[in-house]
Structure formats: C-alpha cells, structure tokens
Structure 1
Amino acid sequence: MFNCKLNWFWLMTTGVMVAACTPTTIDTSGNNESNIAQASSIPNYPPMYNVEVKVCGDIIAPIRDEQRCINQNLRLWGPVKEAKLVRTGISLPSVSAVDHKVAIASQGCYPVYLQPSQPQFYWADTIIQVNRGSTPTIEIKQTQLSNQQIYELMTNRLTSRRIATFGGRGCEPAPVN
C-alpha cells in the first residue's frame, strides 16, 4: 500500500513539472524566432525573370492555331529591354529560307551567368529559318521571380521542366547594335 502511494506521488510530481514547463500560449502568427532567423538568412537577389519568347510569321515551323510560331522559355537576369531577330545565315538563291537567331537585351541568362552580367544583347539558343522577304514578329512575356523563388533556384530546390536553359552556343554576347 505504501509502495502504491509512493508511485502516485511520483506520478503527480512528474505531471506538475511537465505542466509547469509547458508554455501557456501558442504563437499562431508564424513570427517565432526560428521563422525570423530563417527568413533573415535568405540573401536579397537581383531581379530574375522567366521569359517566354514567341516568334511568329512566314517561318519554317509547325502550324498551330493557323500560325507558324516558335516558342522558347528562358530564365534571364534583369528585365528584357528588347529582342531582335538577326540574320546569321547566308541567303542562297537555291534555298528559300535564311537562318536567324533571337538576340535578347538583358543582363545574362541563368544558369550560364550565376550573377547578372553587363546589360547587352545575348543570343538565345534557337535557330529560326525565315522565308526570304518576310518579317516575323517577336512577342515577349516576362514574369519576375520572387526573392524566395530565386533562393530556391540557387539552392536547387526549384525544379521546372518548362524553363529551358541555354545550351550549346547560347547566351553568348551578341554583336548587335
């Protein structure tokens, strides 16, 4: 009997100590110290954009929605200032189309440039065959990434198969005036 009272005594003492050490309020605002420390450890990044480039016109491309278009998705530092279609091939009499490339004015592309570079024209890694005598149109749609998205991208947590990276000879400075 004495042993049973002693066990209840220790059980009650342990319960009182646990209750005394438990906080009486719960922080539901999300502003606790660990969240603040984590948020402050994310550096501020320069602006980065997901850019969709659409070239349409009398080009060699599949017909979709009654148009011939080529789309390319890029990730660029800084906003796109301008895009140009530049002839890179030789116009031969026996060939109806001439090779062109898209040159985009930005501060470089990710992941080739891990930080913004000098603002200038850079080649997008797409060759577009334009039929002689035609002038295709270029449309650009850009969406700025949040600082958190850039952080996740830099730490390899953001995966997007939709965004193409520059490959081959893309993202080199383009000699465009």
Structure 2
Amino acid sequence: MLAGLIAVGCTPRTTTGSGNEATQAQNPSIPEYPPLYNVDVEVCGNIIAPLEDGKRCVSTQLRLWGPVGEAKLVQTGVSLPSVSAVQHKVAIASKGCYPAYPQPSQEQFYWADTIIQVNRGGEPPTIEMTQTQLSNQHVHELVTGTLSDSTVPTFGGVGCEPAPAN
C-alpha cells in the first residue's frame, strides 16, 4: 500500500485550466507575448478595383499588435473636378504592425499599406475586418525568426505609420 501511495504522489498531474498552464510547463523558456493578430481587411463598394462576383473589392492582410479596434477609410488625396476618383487609405486602431513594430507601440490608428481610389458620388465603401489571435507559441516563432511561414504579411512602401485620428 505504501508503494501505491508513493506511485500516486509521483505521477504528473493534469490541469483543467485554459491550457496555457500546461503549455507554459512544457515550454518554460517561452516568454509570454502581448496579443498579436492576423487581420484580413476588405474594402468593397464604389471603388476602382476589378469586378469579381458582382463586387469591387480590395483586400489586404496585416499582422497587428492588439487590441485591434476600428478600421476607417481616410481621404489622403486631393479631390479634383477633372478626376472621378479620390485617393483614400485604410487606418486601423491597434498598437502597431508586425514586423515594422517588433513589439507593441502606442495604441492609435496606423496606416495599412493599401491605397484605394474611391469614386465620387454614390454610397461610401464598406470595410470588413476579420481578426484571428495568434497563439503565444506562434508569436514566439515569429519574433525569434524560427517560423518558416512564406505567407507572412509584410509592409512595404507607406504602411504602418501613425495615422491621423480624425
């Protein structure tokens, strides 16, 4: 009987928590990272874009430090009478874009690397966002460069700079 008690006392115990405790116990060298999200943004409507399935849409994928808030379309070009469309950009409330910001920054609006030509007149375009939080393990692999993901969204050009709040 004594051998049975010793055997029970030495067996590993399982947790019924959220699962993070077990993951942390298995990978004690992985620090806890702030939330990072894969964000798909789609702007559709009265814009200059190819017609697909009866809609004109522009899509972009981003990796944003959370929390991720509102997305808005901001006019960045000059409205000229001789031109039928005006340049706009998407601004998203977050703590910055990865990898341009290797860690979260100030929570504010940041530009997505997308320029959209909005036709004058008619209904304003709609913005739809889908966000998926990455696991702490995935964030660790991204930050340490051990992830071999060839489809990682990156920023080139004019993306991920702070955007005006208005």
Q: Would the TM-score normalized by the shorter structure come out above 0.5?
A: yes
Q: Does 1:105 align with 2:112?
A: no
Q: Does 1:120 align with 2:108?
A: yes
Q: Does 1:71 align with 2:66?
A: no
User: TM-score by structure 2 length?
Assistant: 0.82
Distance 1:44 1:68, change over 3 A: same
Equivalent residue letter for 1:56 = C
Q: Does 1:46 align with 2:34?
A: yes
Which deviations, in whole Å up to 9, do the C-alpha atoms of 1:11-39 show, x marking residues without a partner?
xxxxxxxxxxxxxxxxxx8x9xxx98860
Give the aligned partner of residue 139 of structure 1.
128
Shift, 1:125, TM fit: 1.0
User: TM-score by structure 1 length?
Assistant: 0.77
For structure 1, the residue ranges without an aligned partner over 5 or more in a row are 1-28
Which deviations, in whole Å up to 9, do the C-alpha atoms of 1:105-150 show, x marking residues without a partner?
0000000111101100000111000000240000000000000000
Larger Rg: 1
Mean Cα displacement is larger for which, 160-169 or 79-88?
A: 160-169
Aligned to 1:101, what secondary structure does the other structure show? strand
**Is the contact made by 1:58 and 1:136 (CA closer than 8 Å) also made in structure 2?**
yes
Distance 1:36 1:67, change over 3 A: closer
**Is the contact made by 2:24 and 2:30 (CA closer than 8 Å) also made in structure 1?**
no
Aligned to 2:59, what secondary structure does the other structure show? strand
Equivalent residue letter for 2:83 = V
**Is the contact made by 1:73 and 1:162 (CA closer than 8 Å) also made in structure 2?**
no
Aligned to 1:40, what secondary structure does the other structure show? coil
Aligned to 1:151, what secondary structure does the other structure show? helix
Give the aligned partner of residue 170 of structure 1.
159
Which deviations, in whole Å up to 9, do the C-alpha atoms of 1:15-72 show, x marking residues without a partner?
xxxxxxxxxxxxxx8x9xxx98860000100000000000000100011111100000
Q: Does 1:153 align with 2:142?
A: yes
Distance 1:62 1:158, change over 3 A: same
Aligned to 2:142, what secondary structure does the other structure show? helix
Aligned to 2:27, what secondary structure does the other structure show? helix
**Is the contact made by 2:47 and 2:116 (CA closer than 8 Å) also made in structure 1?**
yes
Q: Of the candidates 42, 46, 49, which is equivalent to residue 61 of structure 1?
A: 49
Q: How many residues align?
A: 145
Q: Which has the higher helix share?
A: 1
For structure 2, the residue ranges without an aligned partner over 5 or more in a row are 1-11, 15-22
Equivalent residue letter for 1:142 = Q
Aligned to 1:60, what secondary structure does the other structure show? coil
